[in-house]
Chain A
């Protein structure tokens, strides 16, 4: 098992040497990783990287070579048992359009073999859809469909949630609400796996898996991966105009970064390790700093560098 054994808790999901081929096309090639209980794995990669195929393999919707185990159960041998432990939110929120929200939830309860009378109302209320329970699914907005997808995935209280491109079709407000819900679910101890080619979810990720053309490019904690590609944070300083050039020279001498001066704002790119060095020098120099902002770099905006670097875990 290549990357699946990690320190700490035993992974609840173990993907071991999974390869998926469609004829001559290889969609996934020797992918191995593990997901610990209660953590959030973000699967990053451009379109066609193999993210959705990976999810299909976990759910045993597609045949593959290799092994996937969920809480010790083999996904090929005990497919039904494994699927009981996973709530899945599909990419296009493809549900039966002519059903009402409540009827779709009842149907999902029956498919999962759980009591519809208690679960349906509870889960729909949780995502604020109980008030529109009689509305047909075809009349729901994309944001509502996403929330319905999450409610349906939560039916049966599975310990793992898999979300395929959850923020690709929704507006900014919907994305923020989604992040809030995601955070609550993580606090409740759910294990989450989210695939995306967009940004906005990196802050909530415990681990990141980067895929490209079916290959596993990187896997690990976001901070560790960012270190590997030497990405820089951005420092913004507001200073008195008369000191701008002195401070610019100080930063340049200290870390060699180019400093852009626009009015009384200075902007510089800094390696994470250099941030404290710069701050200490600013304090020691005694110059007055009116404002200071450090914008950290997110893994989602930098994962392409990992792909370009061609490094593997």
Chain B
């Protein structure tokens, strides 16, 4: 591996990404989602229930997680295909670097930039709300880490889309559709149909596990010790069928998604002509 080349591509990608307005918008959106102004008012008045943080974070997870894919999906899906269209990929790959070097640098840079936005958005909001008690940062860290994991999974998917498509517009369109599929369509259509089938709830289980957004949401709520009513219908199905194993199966599934998308991206890119 050409470490110097990987680092050069990674730092360029990171700097280029954080200059994009798309990322700045998301940093503000995550901050506004996380800051919870009524909580600040209650905090100032010293009138908070004992479990306020757990309630607040599980609500935040339900609110923010469906939006997280909108950060890495369009950005990641455009990255390789855009370089191919502009000709810069041909130039970069004419240098003594391997395809693995290039993809490591590109993915690393994108991952660092998008993760930084999540950390910044949630982190600043958390500092504002919880600065009175450092000990309360552990659950915030859990929620933020799971948001970063979902971001990484979606970035892997975005890279696969970018490698497989020939036009930037097509790649962006597919990325937006994937977000729609994982959030709106999954909730409104797919799960409703499955639940109405004879196999019912049992068939819902694989459908949930096939959806990284929903899997990560349920996993986050369980990790934060959320109550049954905060899990939603899909979360209750998971709890019913998987019981005590839910935590490890959901976590394992998320890591499997991460590995599948990243490995797939590397395999596809290695087999493909650069131009």
Does B86 lie at the interface of the complex (its beta carbon under 8 Å from any beta carbon of A)? yes
**Is B167 among interface residues, defined by CB-CB distance under 8 A?**
no
Shortest CB-to-CB span from A149 to chain B, Å, is: 9
Tell me whether A179 is interfacial, beta carbon within 8 Å: no
**B91 is contacted by which of A62, A63, A88, A113 (Cβ under 8 Å)?**
A88
Chain B, 68-100, CB within 8 A of any chain A CB: 86-88, 90-98
If A56-B275, A107-B8 touch, does A95 touch B88 (CB 8 Å cutoff)? yes
Residues of A within 8 Å of B274, CB to CB, are 56, 61-62
B4 within 8 A of A: yes
Asked whether A112 lies within 8 Å of B273 as measured between CB atoms, the reply is no
Q: Which residue of B lies closest to A87 (CB)?
A: B94
A206 touches B (CB below 8 Å): no
A9 contacts the other chain (Cβ, under 8 Å)? no
Query: CA separation between A276 and B247, bound complex, in Å?
Result: 94
Contact (Cβ within 8 A) A111 B96: yes
- Whether B94 contacts A94 by the Cβ 8 Å rule is no
Does B19 belong to the interface (CB within 8 Å)? yes
Closest to A149 in B: B91
> Of the 9-residue stretches A33-41, A78-86, A221-229, A262-270, which lies at the interface with chain B?
A78-86
Shortest Cβ distance from A102 into chain B, in angstroms?
Answer: 14
Chain B residue nearest to A62 (CB atoms) is B273
B5 at the binding interface (Cβ < 8 Å): yes
Query: CB within 8 A of B94: which of A61, A98, A107?
Result: A61
How many residues from A make CB contacts under 8 Å with B?
A: 26
Among A62, A83, A91, A110, the residue within 8 A (CB) of B8 is A110
Interchain CA distance A56-B94 in the complex, whole Å? 9
Number of residues on chain B facing chain A (CB within 8 A):
24
CB distance from B178 to the nearest CB of A (A): 27
Q: Of the candidates B2, B87, B94, which one forms a contact with A59 in the assembled complex, judged by CB atoms under 8 Å apart?
A: B94
Task: Give Cα A111–Cα B2 distance, bound, in whole angstroms.
Answer: 8
Within 8 Å of chain B (Cβ to Cβ): is A90? yes
Query: B-side binding surface: helix, strand, loop or mixed?
Result: helix
User: Per a CB cutoff under 8 Å, which of A62, A80, A90 touches B97?
Assistant: A80
The answer to whether A91 touches B12 (Cβ under 8 A) is no
Q: Are the CB atoms of B8 and A94 closer together than 8 Å? A: no
The docked-state distance in angstroms from the alpha carbon of A108 to that of B94 is 10
Given A56-B275, A61-B273, A62-B275, A96-B88 contact (CB < 8 Å): yes
With A88-B91, A110-B8 as given contacts, are A63 and B273 in contact (CB-CB < 8 Å)? yes
User: How many whole Å from B269's CB to the nearest CB in chain A?
Assistant: 13
Interface mask (A104-138 → B, CB under 8 Å = 1, otherwise 0)? 00011011110000000000000000000000000
Chain B 1-53 interface residues, beta-carbon cutoff 8 Å to A: 2, 4-5, 7-9, 12, 16, 19
**For B93, what are the chain A residues with a Cβ–Cβ distance below 8 Å?**
59, 61
Give the CA-CA distance A110 to B9 in the complex, in Å: 9
Give complex CA distance A116, B7 in Å: 14
| 1/0 contact string of B54-70 vs chain A (CB within 8 Å) | 00000000000000000
Chain B residue, CB-CB nearest to A155: B95
Determine whether A312 belongs to the interface, using a CB cutoff of 8 Å to chain B.
no
A285 to chain B, nearest CB (A): 59
Across the two chains, which residue of chain A brings its CB closest to B272? A63
Q: A56-B273, A83-B96, A98-B16 are in contact. List 19 more A-B contacts (CB 8 A).
A: A59-B93, A61-B90, A80-B98, A90-B90, A90-B91, A90-B94, A94-B86, A94-B87, A94-B88, A96-B12, A99-B12, A107-B12, A108-B95, A111-B4, A111-B5, A111-B9, A111-B95, A113-B2, A113-B4
Binding site for B on A (CB under 8 A): 56, 59, 61-63, 79-81, 83-84, 86, 88, 90-92, 94-96, 98-99, 107-108, 110-113
Residues of B within 8 A of A (CB): 2, 4-5, 7-9, 12, 16, 19, 86-88, 90-98, 273-275
A sample of 20 cross-chain residue pairs with beta-carbon separation below 8 angstroms, ordered by A number, consists of A61-B274, A62-B275, A83-B96, A83-B97, A86-B94, A90-B87, A90-B90, A90-B91, A94-B86, A94-B87, A96-B12, A96-B16, A96-B88, A98-B19, A99-B12, A107-B8, A108-B95, A110-B7, A112-B96, A113-B4
